[in-house]
Structure 1
Amino acid sequence: MKPWKRKGDKLFADIDKQEAAVLRGLVSQIDDMLRARVEETPQDELAELTGIRTGPTSSPDDPILSRLLPDFHRLDDDNPSKEDLDSAAMLRSLHEPGLLDVKVGVAAVVLGTCPTHGGEVRLSLEQADAWLSALNDVRLALGTAIEVTDDMPEELPDDDPRSPHLAVYHWLTWVQESLVQALSED
């Protein structure tokens, strides 16, 4: 993939077939995980009557989903109070459905604008923002899965099973940085 370029209110990049397949595959996996979380949402009769959607009250068990859907209220890890636990549950129930909508929506934008077999990607400014958000979600998920840390080396030994995934992580970082740079051009 060549760096993103901006012309007026449009952004352009060429993506090859393999890059498109990797990006679409990763975004699809995140989308599937998020949609499964939506399906797990308990039915709420009051929500159906009022139109106010509610979501789960507890964090996802999966570490990747937990990273994508963090707690809305930080708890004292050593000794959370009942009020803090109740507050965290209530905030999650109220805000997670909206966060899921946004994350599923940005994934749909990427899947709708990234050519299946590679080629030119053309984005509006709004679509570019969606790409940035979706790329961030994929990077968070992949970074969690391969346990990326600040002190992790740029490359891992070839016999480390995380090595190819780290290369993809770095590529996604570059795609995101390139898009940010193109967006900041006048």
Structure 2
Amino acid sequence: MRTWKRKGRGESIRIVSQLDSHEAELLASLVSSMCELLTERADTAPSDALSEVTGIRIGHSDAPDDATLGRLLPDFHRPDQDEELSAEVVNGRLNSALRSVNEPKIIDAKLGAAHILLDTLPDGGGDLALTVDEATAWLTALNDVRLALGAMLGISEDTPDRLPPDHPHAAHLDVYHWLTVMQDLLVEAVM
């Protein structure tokens, strides 16, 4: 991955870079895997008569059991955010209601950004020239992939920058750091 650069003016602004073939393949694989997780979650959402009549989609009312999906689709409100609401109210009714109403839209937005990344990703690597809107979608998708990978690896403040080469997660941590650098450089180019 080369750095991102901003070229052009006004409507013709493009955010440009290049990806090697293995980088493009890795990115496509990571984003596609995340899409599969989100699509499965959306496809298993309950259906009710009111949603069928109104066309208003509802999502799951319970948080995902999977840590990766839990990081992509966190609770809306935590008990430590509001002393006036009891933990039972926050963890039960409030989060369930907010989740069932909003989760379909959140999944759609995440999938939309991921599909823009996949659609603009050069097959086999090569040059990239993104509009500002496409670059913003890339930022969203890169962030989501980093969140998912970080949850899978259990990334925390105590996670070292490098793991021993024989550690089973060493290569995954390197990918996490690569995604972080790519996202940081893209933010700078977009700004």
TM-score range, shorter chain: over 0.9
1:14 aligned residue: 18
Which residue does 2:36 correspond to in 1?
A: 32
**Under a length normalisation based on structure 2, what TM-score does the superposition of the two structures give?**
0.91
Q: How many residues align?
A: 182
The 1:84–1:157 alpha-carbon spacing in structure 2 relative to 1, beyond 3 Å, is closer
The one-letter amino acid paired with 1:42 is: P
Per the alignment, residue 60 of structure 1 pairs with 64
> Displacement, 1:121?
1.1
Q: Which residue of 2 aligns with 1:144?
A: 151
Residues 62-109 of structure 1: CA distance to partner in whole angstroms, max 9, x if unpaired?
Answer: 110010000112136xx7324651111000001101000000101100
8 Å contact kept, 2:77–2:90: no
Judging changes above 3 Å, is the alpha-carbon distance between structure 1 residues 57 and 157 closer, same or farther for their aligned structure 2 residues? same
| Deviation string, structure 1 residues 104-139 (Cα, Å, up to 9, x no partner) | 101100110001200011111111010000000010
Partner residue, 1:154: 161
Structure 1 SS opposite 2:97:
helix
Unaligned runs of 5+ in 1: none
Say whether residues 1:109 and 2:113 are aligned partners: no
Query: C-alpha offsets along residues 17-44 of structure 1, whole Å, 9 cap, x if unaligned?
Result: 0000000000000000000001101112
Q: Which runs of 5+ in 2 are unaligned?
A: 81-85
Return the alpha-carbon distance in structure 2 between the equivalents of residues 156 and 91 of structure 1.
Answer: 39
Q: Is the 8 A contact 1:75 1:85 kept in 2?
A: no
What is the SS of the residue equivalent to 1:81? Answer: helix
Corresponding position: 1:48 with 2:52? yes
Name the CA distance, whole Å, in 1 between partners of 2:109 and 2:90.
Answer: 29
Contact kept, 8 Å, 2:78 with 2:90, in 1: the verdict is: no
The one-letter amino acid paired with 1:117 is: G
1:173 and 2:180 aligned = yes
Report the aligned-residue RMSD.
1.3
Q: Is structure 2 residue 71 aligned with structure 1 residue 71?
A: no
> Amino acid of the residue matched to residue 173 of structure 1?
T
Percentage identity across paired residues of the two chains: 46
Q: What is the CA–CA distance in structure 2 between the aligned matches of 1:161 and 1:81, rounded to whole Å?
A: 39
